[in-house]
Copies of this chain bind each other. A is one copy, B any other.
Amino acid sequence: MSHPNAKHRPASRESSPREQGANPWEASAAETTVKVGLNAAIVGVDEDKPLVMTVRYDETVSNAEAGREDQGIPGLPFGPFEPHRHRTLDSGLRQWVAEQTDLQLGYAEQLYTFGDRGREFEFGGGPRIISVGYLALTNRVSDDPAPLASWEDWYRYFPWEDWRDTEPPVLAEVIRPALIRWAERAEMGPERDHKRERAALCFGSDGIAWDEEKVLDRYELLYEAGLVYEAARDRGPRPDTPERPLGLPMRFDHRRILATAMSRLRGKLKYRPVVFELMPPTFTLFELQRVVEAISGVRLHKQNFRRFVEKSGLVETTGDISTQTGGRPAARYRFRREVLLERLSAGVRFSATISKR
């Protein structure tokens, strides 16, 4: 049985063990040498559009490491960790981002380290590549980025993740039917049941609610079922590859890293005051709500949202009012940066409501 929190896999001996008590570092250098890629999912919000920074390359990339079919497909800012040039992983990431996007990162946190990137790096014979993914947040979305860099609406890559107005039609029209076929291709019995259940858990259905935090699980399921471009790219055409693959693709495993970032951010929003990294210095409560909704992809109950935010102690009014709201003017607030040092630091709690606020 699979485990949603972690992998249960018997430790098969892939080659012969060493003798007890040896120093594991004594293995020869050639066997232990790898390259480490640093990848940034940089997130911002413009009005009600969640944005991710992408980079395209002007040269034609031809070596095996760069992915054979990825020319022209944009990706996240990234570059190799260079031990002699970078003091830490973190600072290496910041340098690459600055060079490629002209953005000076503020908030950045490590997401995950991926060791298996499908198969695209297994030929070419060069050293194995490992990706360290980061999530970065910024409010500088109107600065001009470098020529090859640009902000993109993240729902272009994940159209099934935006439930703010309605359930995305692609779910009923494409995804759920394709996942049913995917399950049917397994032989009848526990495996088929398990696949069906997994699909229902990830994408919701009769009785199972949509969980906006499961972005990564959903992407990985679509990849496994061969419904995203990257699956065919990495493993050859699949039985059910649709004519119009789901969402826009990215280079390498960058869409997976973005999915990881979205999951983490949607989760963290609820228990840490991270939204404010995405806000301008002052804002109205409704602007704050729109940003939370943009990130989480669901609508919130307005009065309860303000009740929560006001009670939390995370913000204070500036005294100004904003009259550009289209209705009664709204009070402007600022984030109380001091609370980052207080024990109370809660995040922005919310629970989804059925459209309409």
Contacting residues, chain B, for A288 (C-beta < 8 A): none
The reply on A105 being an interface residue by CB < 8 A is yes
Q: Shortest distance in angstroms between A251's beta carbon and chain B's nearest beta carbon?
A: 11
Q: Tell me if B107 and A6 are in contact (CB < 8 A).
A: yes
Determine how close the nearest CB of chain B comes to the CB of A216; give it in whole angstroms. Answer: 13
Instruction: Name the segment of A11-19, A171-179, A303-311 touching the other chain.
Output: A11-19
Chain B residue nearest to A337 in the complex (CB): B1
A245 at the interface (CB under 8 A from B): no
Number of interface residues of A (CB under 8 A): 93
Query: Is A201 an interface residue, CB under 8 A from the partner?
Result: yes
Task: Report which of B9, B84, B197 forms a contact with A91, defined as CB distance below 8 A.
Answer: B9
Q: Is residue A209 contacting chain B, with contact meaning CB distance below 8 A?
A: yes
Contact with B along A198-211 (1 / 0, CB 8 A): 10010000001101
- The CB with the most chain B CB atoms within 10 A, among A61, A65, A99, A109, is that of A99
Tell me the chain A residues, 247-278 only, with Cβ under 8 Å from chain B: 272, 274
A62 nearest CB neighbor, chain B only: B23
Question: In the complex, A345 Cα to B3 Cα: how many Å?
Answer: 12
Quick check: A21 and B59 within 8 Å, CB to CB?
yes
A85 touches B14 (CB 8 A): yes
**Chain B residue with Cβ nearest A92:** B115
Interface segment among A28-36, A45-53, A225-233, A348-356: the answer is A28-36
Question: A352–B335 Cα gap in the complex (Å)?
Answer: 30
A107 and B3: CB pair below 8 A?
yes
- A86 within 8 Å of B (CB atoms): yes
Interface members, chain A 298-346 (any B CB < 8 Å) = 337, 340-343, 345
- Which B residues are CB-close (under 8 A) to A115? 81, 88-90, 92
Please report the C-alpha to C-alpha distance between residue A191 and residue B254 in the assembled complex, in whole angstroms.
Answer: 40
Docked-complex contact B81 and A340, CB < 8 angstroms: no
Contacts of A63 in B (CB 8 A): 23, 25
Please state if A113 and B116 are interface contacts (CB–CB under 8 Å): no
CA distance A42 to B244 in the complex (A): 45
A106 at the interface (CB under 8 A from B): yes
Whether A24 and B340, one on each chain, are in contact in the complex, defined by CB atoms closer than 8 angstroms, is: no
Expressed in whole angstroms, the Cα–Cα distance for A345 and B34 within the complex equals 38
Interface residue stretch chosen among A125-133, A154-162, A235-243, A279-287: A125-133
